[in-house]
Structure 1
Amino acid sequence: MSRPIVGIIGNQHLINDQYPAHAGGSMNSEAVACVAGCMPLLIPADPRFVSVPELLATCDGFLLTGGRPNVHPEEYGEEATEAHGAFDRARDAITLPLVRACVERGQPFLGICRGFQEVNVAMGGSLYPEIRDLPGRMNHRMPPDGTLEEKFALRHVVRFAEGGPFHRLMGAQEVMTNTLHGQGIKTPGKRIVIDGLAPDGTPEAIFVEGAEGFTLSVQWHPEWDAANDPVSRPLFTAFGDAVRAWADGRVPVRQVEHA
Protein backbone atom coordinates (compact mmCIF):
# COMPACT_ATOMS: atom_id res chain seq x y z
CA MET A 1 0.00 0.00 0.00
CA SER A 2 1.51 3.33 -1.05
CA ARG A 3 2.01 6.10 1.46
CA PRO A 4 0.41 9.51 1.01
CA ILE A 5 2.74 12.14 -0.42
CA VAL A 6 3.93 15.17 1.51
CA GLY A 7 5.54 17.81 -0.68
CA ILE A 8 8.50 19.32 1.16
CA ILE A 9 9.17 22.87 0.04
CA GLY A 10 12.83 23.13 -0.92
CA ASN A 11 15.21 26.07 -0.79
CA GLN A 12 17.62 27.43 -3.37
CA HIS A 13 21.18 26.56 -2.44
CA LEU A 14 24.68 26.95 -3.87
CA ILE A 15 27.05 23.99 -3.60
CA ASN A 16 30.66 25.16 -3.25
CA ASP A 17 29.35 28.72 -3.67
CA GLN A 18 28.71 28.22 -7.38
CA TYR A 19 26.60 25.18 -8.27
CA PRO A 20 22.85 25.96 -8.01
CA ALA A 21 20.73 23.31 -6.33
CA HIS A 22 17.38 22.79 -4.66
CA ALA A 23 17.91 21.56 -1.12
CA GLY A 24 15.95 20.24 1.83
CA GLY A 25 17.17 19.20 5.26
CA SER A 26 17.20 15.44 5.74
CA MET A 27 15.59 15.84 9.18
CA ASN A 28 12.46 17.15 7.42
CA SER A 29 12.26 14.01 5.30
CA GLU A 30 12.91 11.84 8.35
CA ALA A 31 10.10 13.47 10.32
CA VAL A 32 7.66 13.09 7.43
CA ALA A 33 8.62 9.46 6.73
CA CYS A 34 9.22 8.11 10.22
CA VAL A 35 6.76 10.10 12.36
CA ALA A 36 4.03 11.33 10.02
CA GLY A 37 4.17 8.03 8.11
CA CYS A 38 4.09 9.68 4.67
CA MET A 39 6.36 9.71 1.64
CA PRO A 40 8.53 12.86 1.49
CA LEU A 41 8.87 14.49 -1.93
CA LEU A 42 11.25 17.44 -2.26
CA ILE A 43 9.74 20.27 -4.31
CA PRO A 44 11.84 22.75 -6.30
CA ALA A 45 9.96 25.85 -5.18
CA ASP A 46 10.29 27.84 -8.39
CA PRO A 47 7.45 28.75 -10.79
CA ARG A 48 9.75 27.99 -13.74
CA PHE A 49 9.55 24.30 -12.84
CA VAL A 50 6.29 23.68 -10.98
CA SER A 51 2.87 25.29 -10.65
CA VAL A 52 0.50 25.45 -7.72
CA PRO A 53 -2.25 23.44 -9.51
CA GLU A 54 0.28 20.70 -10.32
CA LEU A 55 1.44 20.54 -6.71
CA LEU A 56 -2.11 20.39 -5.37
CA ALA A 57 -2.87 17.50 -7.71
CA THR A 58 0.37 15.61 -7.02
CA CYS A 59 0.78 15.94 -3.25
CA ASP A 60 -1.62 15.13 -0.44
CA GLY A 61 -0.12 17.61 2.01
CA PHE A 62 2.75 20.06 2.31
CA LEU A 63 5.57 20.77 4.73
CA LEU A 64 6.54 24.43 4.55
CA THR A 65 10.10 24.25 5.83
CA GLY A 66 12.48 26.72 7.35
CA GLY A 67 15.14 28.39 5.23
CA ARG A 68 17.79 31.08 5.44
CA PRO A 69 16.19 33.46 2.88
CA ASN A 70 13.24 35.48 4.17
CA VAL A 71 9.89 36.33 2.63
CA HIS A 72 10.41 39.51 0.61
CA PRO A 73 8.82 42.49 2.42
CA GLU A 74 7.17 43.65 -0.81
CA GLU A 75 4.82 40.70 -0.26
CA TYR A 76 3.41 42.59 2.75
CA GLY A 77 3.74 46.12 1.42
CA GLU A 78 7.09 47.19 2.86
CA GLU A 79 10.43 48.12 1.34
CA ALA A 80 13.43 45.85 1.69
CA THR A 81 16.22 46.94 4.04
CA GLU A 82 19.56 45.39 4.98
CA ALA A 83 17.93 44.05 8.15
CA HIS A 84 15.55 41.90 6.08
CA GLY A 85 18.45 39.70 4.94
CA ALA A 86 18.47 37.45 1.86
CA PHE A 87 15.38 36.59 -0.18
CA ASP A 88 14.00 33.82 -2.37
CA ARG A 89 11.39 35.39 -4.63
CA ALA A 90 10.89 32.12 -6.52
CA ARG A 91 9.85 30.35 -3.32
CA ASP A 92 7.57 33.28 -2.42
CA ALA A 93 5.87 32.88 -5.81
CA ILE A 94 5.03 29.25 -5.06
CA THR A 95 4.37 29.08 -1.34
CA LEU A 96 2.17 32.12 -0.80
CA PRO A 97 -0.50 31.13 -3.38
CA LEU A 98 -0.07 27.48 -2.32
CA VAL A 99 -0.99 28.33 1.28
CA ARG A 100 -4.08 30.24 0.18
CA ALA A 101 -5.16 27.39 -2.11
CA CYS A 102 -4.72 24.81 0.65
CA VAL A 103 -6.76 26.91 3.08
CA GLU A 104 -9.54 27.19 0.49
CA ARG A 105 -9.50 23.47 -0.39
CA GLY A 106 -8.93 22.08 3.08
CA GLN A 107 -5.67 20.43 1.98
CA PRO A 108 -3.31 19.98 4.95
CA PHE A 109 -0.03 21.79 5.52
CA LEU A 110 2.38 22.20 8.41
CA GLY A 111 4.42 25.41 8.57
CA ILE A 112 7.85 25.56 10.20
CA CYS A 113 9.89 28.72 10.85
CA ARG A 114 9.99 30.47 7.44
CA GLY A 115 6.93 28.35 6.59
CA PHE A 116 5.19 29.77 9.67
CA GLN A 117 6.01 33.26 8.42
CA GLU A 118 4.81 32.38 4.90
CA VAL A 119 1.43 31.34 6.27
CA ASN A 120 1.06 34.69 8.02
CA VAL A 121 2.11 36.69 4.95
CA ALA A 122 -0.07 34.59 2.62
CA MET A 123 -3.06 35.54 4.75
CA GLY A 124 -2.21 39.25 4.62
CA GLY A 125 0.05 39.65 7.65
CA SER A 126 3.45 41.32 8.06
CA LEU A 127 6.80 40.49 9.68
CA TYR A 128 9.43 42.18 11.82
CA PRO A 129 12.83 41.98 10.08
CA GLU A 130 14.76 41.30 13.29
CA ILE A 131 13.09 40.22 16.53
CA ARG A 132 16.18 40.72 18.70
CA ASP A 133 16.20 44.45 17.90
CA LEU A 134 12.78 44.99 19.46
CA PRO A 135 12.60 46.30 23.06
CA GLY A 136 12.10 43.50 25.56
CA ARG A 137 12.62 40.68 23.06
CA MET A 138 15.17 37.91 23.40
CA ASN A 139 17.54 36.74 20.67
CA HIS A 140 15.71 33.88 18.93
CA ARG A 141 18.47 33.20 16.40
CA MET A 142 20.44 29.96 16.11
CA PRO A 143 23.61 30.04 18.23
CA PRO A 144 26.55 30.67 15.86
CA ASP A 145 28.77 28.02 17.44
CA GLY A 146 28.44 24.50 18.77
CA THR A 147 27.24 21.11 17.58
CA LEU A 148 23.87 20.54 15.93
CA GLU A 149 22.65 19.14 19.25
CA GLU A 150 23.64 22.39 20.96
CA LYS A 151 22.15 24.58 18.23
CA PHE A 152 18.82 22.73 18.24
CA ALA A 153 18.66 22.40 22.03
CA LEU A 154 15.46 23.41 23.83
CA ARG A 155 15.81 27.05 24.80
CA HIS A 156 12.50 28.55 25.91
CA VAL A 157 8.93 27.83 26.91
CA VAL A 158 5.96 28.32 24.59
CA ARG A 159 2.64 28.87 26.33
CA PHE A 160 -0.52 27.92 24.43
CA ALA A 161 -3.96 29.45 24.72
CA GLU A 162 -6.06 27.45 27.16
CA GLY A 163 -8.31 25.00 25.33
CA GLY A 164 -6.82 25.84 21.93
CA PRO A 165 -5.74 23.23 19.37
CA PHE A 166 -2.10 23.21 20.45
CA HIS A 167 -3.02 22.85 24.13
CA ARG A 168 -5.32 19.93 23.36
CA LEU A 169 -2.88 18.33 20.95
CA MET A 170 0.07 18.50 23.34
CA GLY A 171 -1.90 17.74 26.49
CA ALA A 172 -0.09 20.65 28.15
CA GLN A 173 -0.41 24.41 28.14
CA GLU A 174 3.35 24.97 28.33
CA VAL A 175 6.08 23.14 26.41
CA MET A 176 9.80 23.59 25.83
CA THR A 177 10.99 24.34 22.31
CA ASN A 178 14.13 25.27 20.42
CA THR A 179 14.42 28.63 18.66
CA LEU A 180 16.36 29.37 15.46
CA HIS A 181 14.77 32.38 13.77
CA GLY A 182 15.48 36.05 13.24
CA GLN A 183 12.14 37.33 11.97
CA GLY A 184 8.67 37.06 13.48
CA ILE A 185 5.06 38.12 13.15
CA LYS A 186 4.42 41.85 13.29
CA THR A 187 0.77 41.99 12.23
CA PRO A 188 -1.26 38.76 12.12
CA GLY A 189 -2.87 38.03 8.79
CA LYS A 190 -6.60 37.75 8.29
CA ARG A 191 -7.92 34.67 10.13
CA ILE A 192 -4.51 33.98 11.68
CA VAL A 193 -4.94 32.97 15.31
CA ILE A 194 -1.86 33.26 17.52
CA ASP A 195 -2.21 30.21 19.74
CA GLY A 196 1.21 30.15 21.40
CA LEU A 197 3.70 32.74 22.68
CA ALA A 198 7.31 32.77 23.86
CA PRO A 199 7.97 34.42 27.26
CA ASP A 200 8.92 37.68 25.50
CA GLY A 201 5.61 37.81 23.63
CA THR A 202 6.91 36.54 20.28
CA PRO A 203 4.23 34.49 18.45
CA GLU A 204 5.34 30.86 18.17
CA ALA A 205 2.23 28.87 17.20
CA ILE A 206 -0.61 29.77 14.84
CA PHE A 207 -3.50 28.31 12.87
CA VAL A 208 -5.98 29.64 10.32
CA GLU A 209 -9.36 30.31 11.90
CA GLY A 210 -12.25 28.51 10.21
CA ALA A 211 -10.02 26.54 7.86
CA GLU A 212 -11.47 23.18 6.83
CA GLY A 213 -8.07 21.48 6.92
CA PHE A 214 -4.95 21.17 9.05
CA THR A 215 -3.09 24.51 9.20
CA LEU A 216 -1.01 24.32 12.38
CA SER A 217 2.26 26.20 12.03
CA VAL A 218 5.12 26.82 14.47
CA GLN A 219 8.03 29.24 14.66
CA TRP A 220 10.39 26.68 16.20
CA HIS A 221 11.92 23.59 14.51
CA PRO A 222 10.00 20.43 15.47
CA GLU A 223 11.72 18.39 12.75
CA TRP A 224 14.74 18.07 15.03
CA ASP A 225 14.55 14.71 16.85
CA ALA A 226 10.87 14.50 15.88
CA ALA A 227 10.58 10.80 16.70
CA ASN A 228 11.62 11.30 20.33
CA ASP A 229 10.67 14.84 21.26
CA PRO A 230 7.36 14.90 23.20
CA VAL A 231 6.29 18.13 21.47
CA SER A 232 7.40 17.29 17.93
CA ARG A 233 6.02 13.78 17.77
CA PRO A 234 2.31 14.59 18.35
CA LEU A 235 2.55 17.50 15.92
CA PHE A 236 3.90 15.36 13.08
CA THR A 237 1.60 12.46 13.97
CA ALA A 238 -1.48 14.69 13.76
CA PHE A 239 -0.23 16.17 10.50
CA GLY A 240 0.28 12.66 9.08
CA ASP A 241 -3.25 11.66 10.09
CA ALA A 242 -4.66 14.70 8.29
CA VAL A 243 -2.62 13.93 5.16
CA ARG A 244 -3.81 10.29 5.15
CA ALA A 245 -7.42 11.40 5.46
CA TRP A 246 -6.95 13.72 2.49
CA ALA A 247 -5.27 10.98 0.45
CA ASP A 248 -7.99 8.46 1.28
CA GLY A 249 -10.87 10.61 0.19
CA ARG A 250 -9.75 14.22 -0.12
CA VAL A 251 -11.56 14.84 3.15
CA PRO A 252 -10.38 17.90 5.09
CA VAL A 253 -9.44 17.19 8.70
CA ARG A 254 -9.42 20.20 11.00
CA GLN A 255 -6.49 20.65 13.33
CA VAL A 256 -8.86 20.72 16.32
CA GLU A 257 -10.13 17.23 15.50
CA HIS A 258 -6.73 15.83 16.40
CA ALA A 259 -6.58 17.48 19.77
Structure 2
Amino acid sequence: MARPLVGIIGNCYIIDDRFPVHAGGRMNSEAIARAAGCMPLIVPSDPDLVSVDELLDHCDGFLLTGGRPNVHPQHYGEEPTEAHGAFDEARDAITLPLIRACVDRGQPFLGICRGFQEVNVAMGGTLYPEIRDLPGRDNHRMPPDGTLEEQFELRHKVTFAEGGVFHRLMGVQEVMTNTLHGQGIRDAASRIVIDGHAPDGTPEATYVQGAPGFTLSVQWHPEWNAVNDPASRPLFAAFGDAARDWSEAKLRAPRKSA
Protein backbone atom coordinates (compact mmCIF):
# COMPACT_ATOMS: atom_id res chain seq x y z
CA MET A 1 0.00 0.00 0.00
CA ALA A 2 1.28 3.47 -0.87
CA ARG A 3 2.50 5.59 2.01
CA PRO A 4 0.38 8.60 2.96
CA LEU A 5 1.64 11.81 1.37
CA VAL A 6 2.69 14.53 3.81
CA GLY A 7 3.22 18.04 2.53
CA ILE A 8 6.23 19.60 4.24
CA ILE A 9 5.82 23.36 4.23
CA GLY A 10 8.90 24.80 2.56
CA ASN A 11 10.68 28.08 3.22
CA CYS A 12 12.14 30.65 0.82
CA TYR A 13 15.92 31.01 0.72
CA ILE A 14 18.53 32.69 -1.43
CA ILE A 15 21.58 30.53 -2.18
CA ASP A 16 24.89 32.33 -2.75
CA ASP A 17 23.00 35.65 -2.77
CA ARG A 18 21.74 34.76 -6.24
CA PHE A 19 19.46 31.73 -6.50
CA PRO A 20 15.97 31.81 -4.93
CA VAL A 21 14.83 28.38 -3.74
CA HIS A 22 12.06 26.69 -1.82
CA ALA A 23 13.60 24.24 0.63
CA GLY A 24 13.06 22.15 3.74
CA GLY A 25 15.51 20.71 6.20
CA ARG A 26 16.56 17.12 5.54
CA MET A 27 15.70 16.25 9.13
CA ASN A 28 12.04 17.10 8.41
CA SER A 29 11.92 14.69 5.48
CA GLU A 30 13.70 11.99 7.49
CA ALA A 31 11.28 12.37 10.39
CA ILE A 32 8.27 12.04 8.11
CA ALA A 33 9.71 9.05 6.24
CA ARG A 34 11.27 7.16 9.13
CA ALA A 35 9.37 8.14 12.29
CA ALA A 36 5.94 8.81 10.78
CA GLY A 37 6.17 6.20 8.01
CA CYS A 38 4.85 8.60 5.36
CA MET A 39 6.09 9.95 2.04
CA PRO A 40 7.60 13.45 2.39
CA LEU A 41 6.89 16.11 -0.22
CA ILE A 42 8.30 19.64 0.10
CA VAL A 43 5.68 22.28 -0.68
CA PRO A 44 6.72 25.49 -2.49
CA SER A 45 4.79 27.75 -0.13
CA ASP A 46 3.69 30.51 -2.46
CA PRO A 47 0.12 31.20 -3.56
CA ASP A 48 1.41 32.05 -7.05
CA LEU A 49 2.53 28.43 -7.42
CA VAL A 50 0.11 26.30 -5.39
CA SER A 51 -3.34 26.76 -3.91
CA VAL A 52 -4.69 25.65 -0.56
CA ASP A 53 -7.39 23.60 -2.28
CA GLU A 54 -4.82 21.75 -4.37
CA LEU A 55 -2.76 20.93 -1.29
CA LEU A 56 -5.80 19.68 0.58
CA ASP A 57 -6.75 17.45 -2.35
CA HIS A 58 -3.31 15.93 -2.92
CA CYS A 59 -1.84 15.58 0.59
CA ASP A 60 -2.95 13.41 3.50
CA GLY A 61 -1.38 15.64 6.15
CA PHE A 62 0.95 18.58 6.60
CA LEU A 63 4.13 19.27 8.53
CA LEU A 64 4.24 22.97 9.45
CA THR A 65 7.97 23.42 9.77
CA GLY A 66 10.17 25.89 11.57
CA GLY A 67 11.91 28.67 9.69
CA ARG A 68 13.89 31.85 10.28
CA PRO A 69 11.23 34.27 8.94
CA ASN A 70 8.39 34.94 11.36
CA VAL A 71 4.64 35.27 10.88
CA HIS A 72 3.92 38.85 9.81
CA PRO A 73 2.33 40.71 12.76
CA GLN A 74 -0.37 42.17 10.51
CA HIS A 75 -2.06 38.79 10.90
CA TYR A 76 -2.57 39.44 14.61
CA GLY A 77 -3.23 43.15 14.50
CA GLU A 78 0.22 44.64 15.11
CA GLU A 79 2.65 46.77 13.17
CA PRO A 80 6.01 45.21 12.24
CA THR A 81 9.07 46.31 14.22
CA GLU A 82 12.74 45.37 14.10
CA ALA A 83 12.08 42.94 16.96
CA HIS A 84 9.71 40.94 14.74
CA GLY A 85 12.61 39.99 12.45
CA ALA A 86 12.26 38.88 8.83
CA PHE A 87 9.04 37.70 7.20
CA ASP A 88 7.84 35.26 4.55
CA GLU A 89 4.46 36.63 3.53
CA ALA A 90 4.05 34.10 0.72
CA ARG A 91 4.26 31.31 3.29
CA ASP A 92 1.76 33.15 5.51
CA ALA A 93 -0.65 33.29 2.57
CA ILE A 94 -0.53 29.50 2.25
CA THR A 95 -0.24 28.23 5.82
CA LEU A 96 -2.77 30.38 7.66
CA PRO A 97 -5.77 29.45 5.49
CA LEU A 98 -4.44 25.89 5.17
CA ILE A 99 -4.46 25.46 8.95
CA ARG A 100 -8.03 26.74 9.25
CA ALA A 101 -9.16 24.44 6.45
CA CYS A 102 -7.47 21.42 8.05
CA VAL A 103 -9.12 22.18 11.39
CA ASP A 104 -12.54 22.34 9.72
CA ARG A 105 -12.02 19.18 7.63
CA GLY A 106 -10.24 17.09 10.25
CA GLN A 107 -7.19 16.79 8.00
CA PRO A 108 -4.08 16.22 10.15
CA PHE A 109 -1.18 18.59 10.66
CA LEU A 110 1.80 18.75 13.00
CA GLY A 111 3.14 22.19 13.87
CA ILE A 112 6.80 22.80 14.76
CA CYS A 113 8.33 26.07 16.03
CA ARG A 114 7.16 28.66 13.47
CA GLY A 115 4.42 26.17 12.58
CA PHE A 116 3.37 26.11 16.25
CA GLN A 117 3.10 29.89 16.16
CA GLU A 118 1.26 29.83 12.82
CA VAL A 119 -1.45 27.62 14.28
CA ASN A 120 -2.09 30.07 17.11
CA VAL A 121 -2.19 33.05 14.72
CA ALA A 122 -4.39 31.23 12.20
CA MET A 123 -6.91 30.54 14.96
CA GLY A 124 -6.91 34.17 16.19
CA GLY A 125 -4.06 34.32 18.72
CA THR A 126 -1.08 36.67 19.07
CA LEU A 127 2.69 36.37 19.51
CA TYR A 128 5.47 38.01 21.50
CA PRO A 129 8.19 39.27 19.14
CA GLU A 130 11.02 38.27 21.52
CA ILE A 131 10.58 35.91 24.46
CA ARG A 132 13.98 36.61 26.03
CA ASP A 133 13.06 40.28 26.60
CA LEU A 134 10.17 39.39 28.92
CA PRO A 135 10.70 39.52 32.70
CA GLY A 136 11.43 36.09 34.14
CA ARG A 137 11.76 34.37 30.78
CA ASP A 138 14.78 32.43 29.57
CA ASN A 139 16.61 32.84 26.27
CA HIS A 140 15.03 30.18 24.04
CA ARG A 141 17.08 31.02 20.95
CA MET A 142 19.48 28.65 19.25
CA PRO A 143 23.02 28.91 20.62
CA PRO A 144 24.90 30.98 18.00
CA ASP A 145 27.93 28.71 17.82
CA GLY A 146 28.75 25.02 17.97
CA THR A 147 27.91 21.91 16.01
CA LEU A 148 24.36 20.96 15.09
CA GLU A 149 24.46 18.42 17.91
CA GLU A 150 25.32 21.20 20.35
CA GLN A 151 22.71 23.60 18.96
CA PHE A 152 19.95 20.98 19.05
CA GLU A 153 20.91 19.52 22.43
CA LEU A 154 18.21 19.04 25.07
CA ARG A 155 18.14 22.23 27.12
CA HIS A 156 14.98 22.35 29.21
CA LYS A 157 12.02 20.37 30.45
CA VAL A 158 8.50 20.61 29.11
CA THR A 159 5.77 19.73 31.59
CA PHE A 160 2.42 18.55 30.24
CA ALA A 161 -1.00 18.93 31.83
CA GLU A 162 -1.72 15.86 33.94
CA GLY A 163 -3.91 13.45 31.99
CA GLY A 164 -3.85 15.74 28.93
CA VAL A 165 -3.35 14.86 25.30
CA PHE A 166 0.45 15.07 25.38
CA HIS A 167 0.75 13.26 28.73
CA ARG A 168 -1.28 10.37 27.34
CA LEU A 169 0.67 10.33 24.08
CA MET A 170 4.14 10.47 25.66
CA GLY A 171 3.33 8.24 28.62
CA VAL A 172 5.14 10.69 30.92
CA GLN A 173 4.30 14.16 32.21
CA GLU A 174 7.76 15.68 31.64
CA VAL A 175 10.16 15.45 28.70
CA MET A 176 13.47 17.13 27.85
CA THR A 177 13.54 19.17 24.65
CA ASN A 178 15.76 21.41 22.57
CA THR A 179 14.86 25.09 22.19
CA LEU A 180 15.59 27.25 19.14
CA HIS A 181 13.01 30.02 18.94
CA GLY A 182 12.80 33.75 19.56
CA GLN A 183 9.06 34.34 19.39
CA GLY A 184 6.28 32.63 21.29
CA ILE A 185 2.60 32.68 22.15
CA ARG A 186 1.33 35.79 23.92
CA ASP A 187 -2.46 35.37 23.78
CA ALA A 188 -3.69 31.90 22.93
CA ALA A 189 -6.60 31.79 20.49
CA SER A 190 -9.90 30.79 22.05
CA ARG A 191 -9.71 27.22 20.72
CA ILE A 192 -6.00 26.73 21.38
CA VAL A 193 -5.34 24.56 24.43
CA ILE A 194 -1.87 25.05 25.91
CA ASP A 195 -1.04 21.54 27.10
CA GLY A 196 2.66 21.96 27.95
CA HIS A 197 4.97 24.66 29.32
CA ALA A 198 8.70 25.29 29.73
CA PRO A 199 9.94 25.97 33.29
CA ASP A 200 9.73 29.74 32.68
CA GLY A 201 6.07 29.48 31.67
CA THR A 202 6.57 29.66 27.92
CA PRO A 203 3.89 27.64 26.05
CA GLU A 204 5.45 24.61 24.37
CA ALA A 205 2.65 22.21 23.36
CA THR A 206 -0.83 22.90 22.03
CA TYR A 207 -3.81 21.44 20.22
CA VAL A 208 -7.04 22.85 18.79
CA GLN A 209 -10.02 22.21 21.04
CA GLY A 210 -12.93 20.50 19.34
CA ALA A 211 -11.06 19.83 16.09
CA PRO A 212 -12.06 16.50 14.50
CA GLY A 213 -8.49 15.68 13.43
CA PHE A 214 -4.87 15.68 14.60
CA THR A 215 -3.80 19.26 15.46
CA LEU A 216 -0.85 18.82 17.81
CA SER A 217 1.89 21.46 17.70
CA VAL A 218 5.10 21.98 19.66
CA GLN A 219 7.45 24.93 20.09
CA TRP A 220 10.61 22.80 20.09
CA HIS A 221 12.13 20.85 17.16
CA PRO A 222 11.16 17.16 17.44
CA GLU A 223 12.40 16.46 13.90
CA TRP A 224 15.95 16.39 15.30
CA ASN A 225 16.79 12.74 16.07
CA ALA A 226 13.10 11.92 15.65
CA VAL A 227 13.51 8.15 15.40
CA ASN A 228 15.49 7.84 18.63
CA ASP A 229 14.26 10.69 20.85
CA PRO A 230 11.58 9.51 23.33
CA ALA A 231 9.63 12.79 23.03
CA SER A 232 9.81 12.91 19.22
CA ARG A 233 9.12 9.34 18.16
CA PRO A 234 5.58 9.05 19.62
CA LEU A 235 4.66 12.47 18.28
CA PHE A 236 5.61 11.61 14.71
CA ALA A 237 4.20 8.10 15.00
CA ALA A 238 0.81 9.47 16.08
CA PHE A 239 0.88 12.03 13.27
CA GLY A 240 1.72 9.28 10.77
CA ASP A 241 -1.20 7.20 12.03
CA ALA A 242 -3.52 10.18 11.56
CA ALA A 243 -2.27 10.69 8.00
CA ARG A 244 -2.81 6.98 7.27
CA ASP A 245 -6.34 7.18 8.63
CA TRP A 246 -7.02 10.17 6.36
CA SER A 247 -5.55 8.42 3.33
CA GLU A 248 -7.58 5.26 3.94
CA ALA A 249 -10.76 7.28 4.42
CA LYS A 250 -10.17 8.96 1.04
CA LEU A 251 -9.84 5.55 -0.62
CA ARG A 252 -13.11 4.39 0.93
CA ALA A 253 -15.00 7.55 -0.02
CA PRO A 254 -17.34 7.17 -3.03
CA ARG A 255 -16.02 8.74 -6.22
CA LYS A 256 -17.89 11.74 -7.59
CA SER A 257 -19.60 11.18 -10.88
CA ALA A 258 -18.51 13.24 -13.86
Counterpart secondary structure, 2:180: coil
The residue that corresponds to 1:217 in the other structure is 217
Counterpart secondary structure, 1:94: helix
Q: Matches of 1:234 and 1:174 in 2, distance apart? A: 14
The residue that corresponds to 1:206 in the other structure is 206
The residue that corresponds to 1:257 in the other structure is none
| Shift of residue 160, structure 1, vs aligned partner | 0.3
| Shift of residue 86, structure 1, vs aligned partner | 0.1
For residues 4-83 of structure 1, the aligned pairs below 5 Å read 4-83=4-83
Q: Matches of 2:108 and 2:68 in 1, distance apart? A: 24
User: May I ask how many residue pairs the two structures share in their alignment?
Assistant: 251
Q: Matches of 2:11 and 2:228 in 1, distance apart? A: 26
2:17 pairs with 1:2: no
The residue that corresponds to 1:149 in the other structure is 149
- Amino acid of the residue matched to residue 230 of structure 2? P
Same amino acid, percent of matched pairs: 78
Q: Matches of 1:134 and 1:44 in 2, distance apart? A: 35
The residue that corresponds to 2:121 in the other structure is 121
2:236 pairs with 1:246: no
- Amino acid of the residue matched to residue 30 of structure 2? E
2:174 pairs with 1:171: no
- Amino acid of the residue matched to residue 144 of structure 1? P
Q: Matches of 1:91 and 1:78 in 2, distance apart? A: 18
Q: Which runs of 5+ in 1 are unaligned?
A: 252-259
| Shift of residue 190, structure 1, vs aligned partner | 2.2
- Amino acid of the residue matched to residue 212 of structure 2? E
Aligned in 2, Cα 1:189/1:250: closer, same or farther, shift over 3 Å?
farther
The residue that corresponds to 2:256 in the other structure is none
Q: Which runs of 5+ in 2 are unaligned?
A: 252-258
How big is the alpha-carbon RMSD for the aligned residues of Structure 1 and Structure 2?
Answer: 0.8
Aligned in 2, Cα 1:221/1:197: closer, same or farther, shift over 3 Å?
same
Counterpart secondary structure, 2:186: strand
- Amino acid of the residue matched to residue 67 of structure 1? G
Counterpart secondary structure, 2:111: strand
| Shift of residue 250, structure 1, vs aligned partner | 4.1
After superposition, the C-alpha distances for 1:168-215 in whole angstroms (9 at most, x for unaligned) are 000011110000000000000120000000000000000000000000
Q: Matches of 2:163 and 2:249 in 1, distance apart? A: 29
- Amino acid of the residue matched to residue 90 of structure 1? A
| Shift of residue 144, structure 1, vs aligned partner | 0.2
Q: Matches of 2:159 and 2:221 in 1, distance apart? A: 16
| Shift of residue 76, structure 1, vs aligned partner | 0.3
After superposition, the C-alpha distances for 1:14-41 in whole angstroms (9 at most, x for unaligned) are 0002210001000000000011000000
- Amino acid of the residue matched to residue 194 of structure 1? I
2:134 pairs with 1:134: yes
- Amino acid of the residue matched to residue 199 of structure 2? P
